[in-house]
Amino acid sequence: MSAKTPSKLEKVMAAGHLGVTSECGPPRGSDPEVIKQKAELLKDCVDAINVTDNQTSVVRTSSLATCIHLKLMGLEPILQMVTRDRNRIALQSDILGAASFDIANVLCLSGDHQSFGDNPQGQNVHDLDSMQLLWTVRKMRDEGTFLGGDEIKRPPKMFVGAAANPFADPFEIRVPRLAKKIEAGAEFIQTQCIYNLEKFEEWIRLAEDRGLTEKCYIMAGVTPFKSAGMAKYMKNRVPGMDVPDDVVKRMADTPKGNQAEEGVNICVETIQRLKEIKGVSGFHIMAIEWEEKVPEIVERAGLMPRPETD
Amino acid sequence: MIVADKKPVEEIIEYVKDCQKILVLGCNECVTVCEAGGKKEVGVLAATLRMYFSNQGTEDVQVDERTLERQCDHEYLEEIRDIADQYDAIVSIACGVGIQFTAEKYHSIPVYPGVNTCFLGVTEQRGLWTERCQACGQCILAYTGGICPVARCAKRLFNGPCGGSSKGKCEINKELDCAWQLIIDRLKAIDRMDLYEKLFNVKDWSTDRAGGPRKVEREDVQI
């Protein structure tokens, strides 16, 4: 696959390197320093930084505004866009807004249901779904037209991504669903956090059998546990998360003072094992409110230094 | 059918507490089946209101009962033409459609809702009604195994399921079936999993609520 956009992330993976991304959650307030501090922690150890879009349906500074802060700092943001809060007019408009700042990556999602957040009585929009948003961005970029058919002056040049959860049910459609996302226009995929390596390996093998890993960069998602409590919470409470018992036990058997370190160890070991799997093009490290650990994880996983691009 | 649920009686009392002559008006169709607004419920609501007024020391307030075949047709609503003027309030316990048509027809009489109209649904079992259709105006059931993602998926995904589907249930509620799990099960049962592989294009919502109030006009059946 050759790079089609100015995206640094795309260029890194197109050159055959493993890509590395991490993420920043915007603050629940308007202080831009919060996001700048998080970004400073990540800037030298990743190729691009996801900026979440009102994740878990809790109101935060907008993903677009935060991406602009990162871009103005000289960093490479990935604009996360959920279809929950905006209709097709607003989505296309925000894509243009991002493109006007030369933001070169977008991740298309449906978004958590609003009942999980701080406005459970609100409407949801879902005028488009995540696949239809992928298709929309690709149409805007490749055909240079809006959904309505009119021409776009200076179309957006964006590397277009989607999420995939190899662990959600039913498993049998997880690969067909990946195929649909790629057909809709996904050029890179960031997966749900991987703890069940056997199941992930089965998923990516089936994807490879269908030729999907040749058409799309698969970035394996990882999240370090801060504590045994977090491992249990993720196992039992987070929908679509698959944390095997032995991983929870390993965290629980570690003395409290060492659990954070053990969480990082598990994360590094996971990346090292996944690096050997054909079809894995990179890693998406989601250190939730623990951005300071990302440089260490990337370093210990043998992913430093990050490659230079032109 | 249109499924409705009873409004709390306190809410209804608040509407009519200053009235002298009230008609509780039921409907013999959907709301009778879902036991929210039929003849039986008219009797119960009227008795409750009478008891309220009696407790207030205002026994002279008159609460009458009537149940029409339908409140969404002119001909049945005309049946109360001769008596409607006597009342200073009508509490309609038909669906929102019937309540509004009654109000349109009897322009100078206050018409209050006695139910909350909920959805288009089915009787799964006695006392349990669940949603099936949102009347989007452009039916896609042929492609989704006869199960509607608009009405039954919390995110109305056309290309589901999302990552929150777990053991056949929706992420928002463990009691709720994942619509896309149901669609997949059904597509397998009818040997049409090929349909799952097809990408659903962007939906035209202009036939939905988004396009403004809708109408169906059929010249072939007009008189």
Using a CB-CB distance cutoff of 8 angstroms, which residues of chain A are in contact with residue B205?
127
Nearest-CA distance B132 → chain A (Å) = 18
- Supply the pLDDT for residue A239: 77
A177-200 b/e (C-beta count within 10 Å ≥ 16 → b): bbbbbbbbbbbbbbbbbbbbbebb
Q: How far is A45 from chain B (nearest CA, A)?
A: 28
Which residue in B has a C-alpha nearest to residue A183's C-alpha?
Answer: B199
Choose among A111, A116, A129: nearest Cβ to B159.
A129
Residue type at position B109: I
Enter the DSSP assignment of B72: S
CB B121 within 8 A of CB B130: yes
Residue numbers in A near B156 (CB within 8 A)? 126, 129
> Comparing C-alpha atoms, which of B93, B83, B80 is closest to residue B48?
B93
B37 touches chain A (CB under 8 A): no
Predicted confidence band at B87 (pLDDT cuts at 50, 70, 90)?
Answer: very high
User: Taking phi first (over 0 means left), then psi (-120 to 50 degrees means alpha), and beta for anything else, what does residue A154 get?
Assistant: left
Which of A119, A172, A217, A161 minimizes the C-alpha distance to A23? A161
Q: Is the pLDDT of residue B59 over 90?
A: no
Tens-digit pLDDT profile for residues B111-167: 999 999 999 999 999 999 999 999 999 999 999 999 999 999 999 999 999 988 889
| Domain that includes residue A131, residue range | 8-300
Domain for residue A308, yes or no?
Answer: no
Indicate whether B4 pLDDT > 90: yes
* β partners of residue B135: none
Q: Which residues pair with A51 in a beta bridge?
A: A24, A79
Q: Band of the pLDDT at B193, cuts 50, 70, 90?
A: very high
User: Nearest-5° angle of CA A33, CA A259, CA A51?
Assistant: 30
Helix axes A88-100, A63-72, angle to 10 degrees: 10
Closest by CA position to A203, among listed A188, A186, A191, A187: A191
Task: Say which of A135, A168, A183 has its CB closest to residue B164.
Answer: A168
The mean pLDDT of chain A is 97
Categorize the per-residue pLDDT at A58 as very low, low, confident or very high, splitting at 50, 70 and 90: very high
Supply the pLDDT for residue A310.
74
The CATH code of the domain that includes A67 is 3.20.20.220
Q: Which residue has the tokens 């449906």?
A: A110
Q: Residue B40 has which token pair?
A: 């039986």
Q: How far is the C-alpha of A100 from the C-alpha of A117, rounded, in Å?
A: 31
Are A227 and A250 a contacting pair, CB within 8 Å? Answer: no
Q: Report the SS3 class of residue B207.
A: helix
Q: Would residue A251 count as lying in a domain?
A: yes
Enter the DSSP assignment of B200: P
Residue A1's pLDDT is what? 82
User: What is the pLDDT at residue A28?
Assistant: 97
The CA-CA-CA angle for residues B217, B220, B223, to 5°, reads 85
Q: Do the beta carbons of residue A106 and residue A137 sit within 8 Å?
A: yes
How confident is the model at residue A149, as a pLDDT?
98
Report which DSSP code applies to B29.
Answer: S
Q: Is pLDDT at B223 greater than 90 in this prediction?
A: no
Gyration radius of chain A over CA positions: 19
Residue the block writes with tokens 């649904």? B121
The residue type of B172 is: I
> Which is more confidently placed, B114 or A240?
B114
- In the numeric block, which tokens belong to residue B163? 């990552």
pLDDT at position A252, please? 97
The shares of helix, strand and coil residues in chain B, as percent rounded to the nearest 5, are: 35, 25, 40
The answer to whether A136 contacts B202, with C-beta atoms less than 8 Å apart, is yes
* Chain A residues with CB within 8 Å of chain B CB: 83-84, 88, 110-113, 115-116, 124, 126-132, 135-136, 147, 163-165, 168-170, 172-173, 176-177, 179-180, 183-184, 192, 239-240
- Contact: A113, B155; criterion CB under 8 Å: yes
Task: Look at residue A237 in the predicted model and tell me its pLDDT.
Answer: 87
Q: Is the pLDDT confidence value at A95 over 90?
A: yes
Residue B67 and residue B123: Cα distance in Å, rounded?
22
Using alpha carbons, list the distances in angstroms from residue B134 to A7, B7, B96, B130, B207.
Answer: 41, 22, 15, 12, 11
Domain count for chain A: 1
Q: Which chain B residues have a beta carbon less than 8 Å from that of A192?
A: 163
Edge-first strand order for the sheet with B115-125 is B2-6, B115-125, B128-133
What integer pLDDT is reported at residue B94 of this predicted model?
Answer: 98
The pLDDT, as a whole number, for residue B164 is 87
Q: Where are the domains of chain B?
A: 2-119, 134-207
Q: Could you tell me if residue A1 is inside a domain?
A: no
Could you tell me the pLDDT band of residue B202, with boundaries at 50, 70 and 90?
A: very high
| B169: three-class secondary structure by DSSP | strand
Beta strand ranges found along B40-135 (DSSP E): 62-68, 89-92, 111-113, 115-125, 128-133
ipTM: 0.94
Closest CA to B36 of B143, B114, B98, B132: B114
Instruction: Determine, yes or no, domain membership for A205.
Output: yes
The string of DSSP codes covering A175-204 is HHHHHHHHHHT-SEEEEEEP--HHHHHHHH
Asked if the model's pLDDT at residue B76 lies above 90, the reply is: yes
Residues of A in contact with B144 (CB under 8 A): none
Distance (Å, rounded) from C-alpha A103 to C-alpha A91? 15
* CA–CA distances in Å: residue A102 to residues A71, A206, B33: 8, 36, 59
Q: Which of B5, B188, B98 is nearest to A172 (CA)?
A: B188
Fold classification of B2-119 is Rossmann fold (3.40.50)
Q: What is the largest CA-CA distance in chain B?
A: 69
**B contact test, residue of A92, A132, A138 with most B CBs within 10 A:** A132
Cα A261 versus chain centre, distance? 24
Kindly report the nearest CA distance between residue A239 and chain B, in angstroms. Answer: 5
